[in-house]
Each structure stands twice: as structure tokens, then as C-alpha cells.
Amino acid sequence: MWPGISLSLEIKDVLYSKKSKFQQIDLFQTTNHGKMLVLDGIIQLTESDEFAYQEMLTHVPLFAHPNPENILVIGGGDGGVLREAGRHDCIQTIDFCEIDEEVIQVSKQFLPDLSCGFDDPRVKVHIADGNSYLKEHKNEYDVIIVDSSDPIGPGEALFERPFYKALKAALRKNGIIATQGESFFLHKECVINLVKITKELFPVQAYSYFLVPTYPGGNIGICMGSLGPELKKPFRAIPENIQNQLKYYSPKIHEASFVLPYFAQKMFETI
């Protein structure tokens, strides 16, 4: 995934290590970053900075939409995106599709601050492949958030054009998709491909990025497509009670996350 680069965190204890039907799942207690979830040897989150990823992947698309009522979350078995989505009172239903039920169980056992997202009564869990699930659901969702792992193993299909076409077909009028968009420093070809696909399929497209220190390269992106709403500014004002619960997302950060480094800006302009 990252030729020539390594990221090392000191481990105090191995809390869980097992190969599921789909992937190797490891849960570690680190020395300085709290618990850490690792899938197939790739860091998914640490308790020290998970808020950055969960808040941005969730609130950027949700606040860009004028009135998200029915949403779908694909992947993210830790429950963090569900936790953040649950802060929006306007949401009526949250369908959650995860291929590997064991990730959910590990999170419920070891990561209560994230898995609390499953306690929301609006959440309906579907243990299924995201691609297959979308084929059965057309014109249903205002916002779809794809919290995928990296494009290897069970997450590989979630970075391909047929999946994005299915995402578009599952949206209602003025719907928005937001997908885990990798790093334009480390995965240039992957990011270019995602931007190309979303530009071709959606009338409005944008790429946001933000900091996550314990991800290789220290940053990650969100690839977004919209059937109507502008993406680069929040459509709705953030209630004070929600803002006070957050650590990373704010309206100013929302807008700033779309201001790309010059090399990335030029890279996307050529697509």
C-alpha cells in the first residue's frame, strides 16, 4: 500500500487477534494512542485521533445536504460514522451495511466510544456486501457515506466504477455521496480514478481532505458527488449543541478542507 514508507506505534498489549471470513482483525492497546483497530495489517483507527476521520467523513456531506432524512452508511463496522450521524435530529432512518459482522462485535467489545453509534434506534444493521445491497435499493437515500477500508481484500470493489454507478442510482433527488478517498500524496492513481469516476457520473463533484496523524502520510480524503447541492459550503448552520460535542469539524473547516494543495488542484483540473 505504501512502498518505501512505514508507520510504527508502540504496542502494550494484544487485546484481540483473529482472522474472520474476510480479513485479519487485530485490536491493540498502544502506549500513547489508546486502542487501535487494524485490518489486514492496516491501521483503521486509534482512539487518540479517530474523531478527525469520523467527524469529517460524516458531517461534511450531512451539513452540505439541505435536509437529510434517509441515509445509508456502507462499511465502518466500528460504528464511528453512526455515532456522528446520530447527532443530526433531521435524520429519520440510518441503514448500515457491513460485510464483516465480526468487526462490529470487536468494536462493541473493545471500542464503546465508537460502537455507541449502534445504540441509535434509527439504525438498522444489514450484514451484506455493499455492492449487492445497492442493487436492491434504488432512489432511497439523501446521503450515502462509504467508510471503506483500503482497496485490497473485501474493500477492493468499493473503488470501482460499477459501485459508484450503483451509489448514484440509490440516491433520491438532490442526493449526495461521500466515500473514503485515500491520500493524494500516497495513492495518486487511486485518487485520480475516483475523481474521474465521480466527475463523469455527478453534476457536482468535489474532493475534501483532512488530517489524521496515525494514518500513513498523516492525511486522507473524501471523494464526493452530488445530484444538486453545492458541496464546498455547509447548507445548514451547525447547532451550538452539536458543535460543542465535536473536536475537528466546524463550518470553517468544512470550507477549508476543499482548498487543495496546488499540485492536487492541477492534478484534478486535467481530469
Residues 6+ apart with CB under 8 A from 123: 82, 86, 94, 96, 117
Active site residues: 147
β-pairing, 171-180 vs 219-226, is antiparallel
Which DSSP string corresponds to 248-264? Answer: S--HHHHHHTT---HHH
Contact call for residues 148 and 74 (beta carbons, < 8 A): yes
With CA atoms as reference, report the closest residue to 167 among 108, 102, 224. 224
Residue type, 84: E
What cell was used for 204?
457536482
